[in-house]
Amino acid sequence: MLARLARLPIILGYLAGGIAIGPHGFGLVSDPETIQALATIGVILLLFTLGLEFSFRELIRIGRIAILGGIAQILLTAAVGLALGKLLGWAMFEAIFFGFIIALSSTMIVLKTLMERGELDSGHGRVMIGILLVQDLSVVPLMIILPAMGGGGEALWVSLGIATLKAVLFIAVMLALGIWGLPWLLRRVAGERSGELFLLTIVTLVLLAAFGAFFFGLSAAVGAFIAGLLISQSAFARQALANIV
């Protein structure tokens, strides 16, 4: 309410409220792990609904812009962070680490801001979502490259190769299940004419996709988005979207 009265984005009110009641504020919430778990589930469900509202044709249309734009944004922002770190007298590794840290955005904050401004379905909003997904995917190689910078090059390439193989394998399995398994499963569940059963099935599929992505080293949000994208191609996309919302 205070953020609204001050004509500020409501996300600032959420952040200030979290700081105030958290363990480093008044201590009203002393177990942030539980809140973090709920927040993660919220992000997973939100990315799933975004996937439901996308289509493969739209993803292909913005894919080139999002991939090239996302890579350019990460590299340019990392370069600025590197230059700033060197100006402050930091070591090369510390400056590189700082540059890549500031190159990544918070998916939740950007999506919330787009929703608040009513720009989630706009052309630039779709491109921004694509760039956010590129950033989420870039976390995997960054988590491998940064710790290995002080080690040998051979171990780095092996780790990158394994991570890439796991990501490709996860996406291939998801596509196979989405093309041949999901339509049959959703038709079977919908045929039972039980709204609760359909809702439980959708939620289970979302969480399984998120956990699968996490298990294969990807972001859980990416897995949820892919699940939504696959279900969006079925005749039950609208019902799934209404239930999740």
pLDDT score recorded for residue 201: 93
Q: What is the pLDDT of residue 154?
A: 61
The pLDDT value given to residue 153: 56
pLDDT given at position 81? 94
Predicted confidence at residue 152, as pLDDT, reads 54
Question: Would you state the pLDDT for residue 123?
Answer: 84
Block mean pLDDT (10 aa), the chain, length 245: 90 91 88 86 89 80 86 93 93 88 87 85 86 84 71 66 84 86 88 90 93 87 89 86 86
Q: DSSP states of 179-204 as a string? A: IIIHHHHHHHHHHTT-HHHHHHHHHH
| Stated pTM of the model | 0.77
What pLDDT, on the 0 to 100 scale, is given for residue 73? 92
Cα–Cα distance for residue pair 120/103, rounded to 1 Å: 22
Question: With 0-12 CB in 10 A as exposed, 13-18 as middle and 19+ as buried, what is 142?
Answer: middle
Determine the pLDDT at residue 78: 92
CA-CA distances (angstroms) from residue 86 to 82, 151, 159, 183? 6, 22, 28, 54
Please state, as a whole number, how many other Cβ atoms lie within 10 Å of the Cβ of residue 198.
18
Give the span between the Cα atoms of 70 and 66, in whole angstroms.
6
